[in-house]
Amino acid sequence: MSQATAPATSKAAPSAEGPRQGTALALTILALVLSVGAYTLVGLGKRGHVPIGLALYGSIFALGYLAAHLAMRRLAPFADPALFPAAGVLTGLGFAMIFRLSGGLAAEQATWIVVGLLAFVGTLLVVRDHRQLDAYTYTIGLVGLGLLLLPIVPGIGRTINGARLWVRVGPIGFQPSEIGKVLIVIFLASYLSSKRELLSVTEGRLGPLRLPPAKHLAPVLLAWGASLAVLFLQKDLGASLLFFAIFVVMLWIATGRTAYLVIGLVLFVIGAGVAYELLAHVQQRVDIWLHALAPSKVFDFGYGQVAQAQFGLATGGLVGAGLGRGSPGLIPFASTDFIFAAIGEELGLLGTTAVLLLFITLVGKGLKAALECPDAFGKLLAVGLSAGLALQAFVIVGGVTRVIPLTGVTLPFVSYGGSSLVSNFVLLALLVRVSSGPVKRRAERVT
């Protein structure tokens, strides 16, 4: 009997893996074509000829993307085929827009793309099974918290544009909160997967809400306090909002208790109110949000930044002015905080919609991986990483379009910045790992 069934199993495995790998390769090639094509079109639109760096940067993208695909084929053969290509298109489009806005930054961004791809492959090499991270709960948590608070250390912390987010050690400068974000998600996934039964217990009611015991609210309060510490000590409104929102979402998913969402929302409103009363830069952000297009303020720097973004989005219309043919350079810091507005001016509503759909693809595939993962830690890890991507994209896009006050976070994979790009490729690699499962599953499916 075993001899009869074994061949059927060995034949079924390649047929399940083969189409997925073929789809992954086709999508990766498409991402490569779109990335190099966007860069070429920017050169043609901006200068009237093919960029002189086409061979160099085209080779970087070709070798990097194909190397990443081969690494996934070997190390994560059952991963969702759309995860890396979606991030690849966002990265390529971001590079093209950075070249469009400031040619001098393109070389730096290309270097960081290479480092990010190396980090992506390195993460897959080191983390052969996502469950191995579950064994280092508190170590990872302490390192993540340390990275979040590192910029406040005297001597190495740096304040740029009013926020103390940067660390400089010798010639090396980076934002430790970016990689800290990923480590905190890993810690929360491990902690909540082990404590979810305790946190799910209820002992009282407040109207329709079933409330947990007071002692089990301690993690929520600690997360709230940590987010306020980031806000008040580093003046980083975006990171503070992002970390607390990720925690509340993961806590809700782990326990299934709507009460945690309501309590989290109440604590957020309280924290936002206190920050508005005590911090001048928070008051300024809200004032800019409300009055960016006021005639008396539209030419002031802070107000004009948001106003120019609105003008750029409006100018883009449905299909945009064309890559390299608009005037996104009028927007201050367009390559970082306002790159979404630059895309809107040159690619129009269709272009910005395509960008949002790519983020929806990444988040949706991440949540799909969470649903298919057999263990609680993997489920929460995929949910937390996906929620982080979704929330960060919403916070920056919402700020640029004036849905919410601008908070200053970067658009994942698209904005200029090495720390953000590298940490997001690490995040992507972890999603790929959860989606594919442990490397040993390859042998199990073939035998």
pLDDT at 333: 80
Three-class HEC string of 55-76: HHHHHHHHHHHHHHHHHHHHHC
Distance between CA atoms of residues 436 and 127, nearest Å: 12
Tens digits of residue pLDDT in 176-201: 888 888 998 998 899 888 877 776 66
- Does residue 144 carry a pLDDT above 80? yes
pLDDT at 301: 67
Region 150-159: what's the mean pLDDT?
A: 76
- Does residue 22 carry a pLDDT above 80? yes
Region 24-45: what's the mean pLDDT?
A: 95
pLDDT at 8: 41
pLDDT at 348: 94
Strands 172-174 and 209-211, by their bridges, are unpaired
- Does residue 204 carry a pLDDT above 70? no
Six-digit token pair at 71?
């690494």
Residue with tokens 């970082």: 336
Distance between CA atoms of residues 44 and 36, nearest Å: 12
Distance between CA atoms of residues 447 and 443, nearest Å: 6
pLDDT at 168: 77
**How does the average pLDDT of the chain come out, rounded?**
84
- Does residue 447 carry a pLDDT above 60? no
Span of 20-34, 76-90, 93-107, 280-294 with lowest mean pLDDT: 280-294
Helix (H) or strand (E) holding 157: strand 157-160
Region 120-146: what's the mean pLDDT?
A: 91
Q: Which residues contact 300 (CB under 8 A, 6 or more apart)?
A: none
- Cβ–Cβ < 8 Å for 57, 40: no
CA dihedral 420, 421, 427, 431 (to 10 degrees): 150
Distance between CA atoms of residues 402 and 344, nearest Å: 14
pLDDT at 7: 42
- Cβ–Cβ < 8 Å for 252, 261: yes
pLDDT at 332: 81
pLDDT at 160: 66
Amino acid at 359: F
Distance between CA atoms of residues 190 and 138, nearest Å: 9
Highest mean pLDDT range out of 13-27, 212-226, 231-245, 389-403? Answer: 389-403
DSSP code string of 38-54: HHHHHHHHHHSS--TTH
Backbone conformation region of residue 111, classed left if phi is above 0, alpha if psi is from -120 to 50, else beta: alpha
- Cβ–Cβ < 8 Å for 246, 144: no
- Cβ–Cβ < 8 Å for 204, 211: yes
- Does residue 89 carry a pLDDT above 50? yes
How many residues can be counted in the chain?
447
Span of 13-27, 244-258, 378-392 with lowest mean pLDDT: 13-27
More confidently predicted of 91 and 46: 91
Tens digits of residue pLDDT in 419-441: 899 999 999 999 999 999 887 64
Span of 24-33, 231-240, 276-285 with lowest mean pLDDT: 231-240
Distance between CA atoms of residues 89 and 84, nearest Å: 9
Distance between CA atoms of residues 337 and 320, nearest Å: 20
3 state DSSP class of 235: coil
- Does residue 212 carry a pLDDT above 90? no
pLDDT at 300: 74
- Does residue 162 carry a pLDDT above 50? yes
Distance of CA 429 to the CA centre of its chain: 12
Q: Which residues contact 128 (CB under 8 A, 6 or more apart)?
A: 75, 438, 439, 440
- Does residue 18 carry a pLDDT above 70? no
Task: Give the sign of the dihedral formed by CA 114, CA 118, CA 121, CA 123.
Answer: negative
- Cβ–Cβ < 8 Å for 150, 156: yes
Distance between CA atoms of residues 258 and 27, nearest Å: 38
Highest mean pLDDT range out of 150-159, 233-242, 331-340, 374-383? Answer: 374-383
Highest mean pLDDT range out of 108-112, 247-251, 261-265, 266-270? Answer: 108-112
pLDDT at 350: 95
Distance between CA atoms of residues 327 and 41, nearest Å: 15
Region 410-415: what's the mean pLDDT?
A: 93
More confidently predicted of 9 and 260: 260
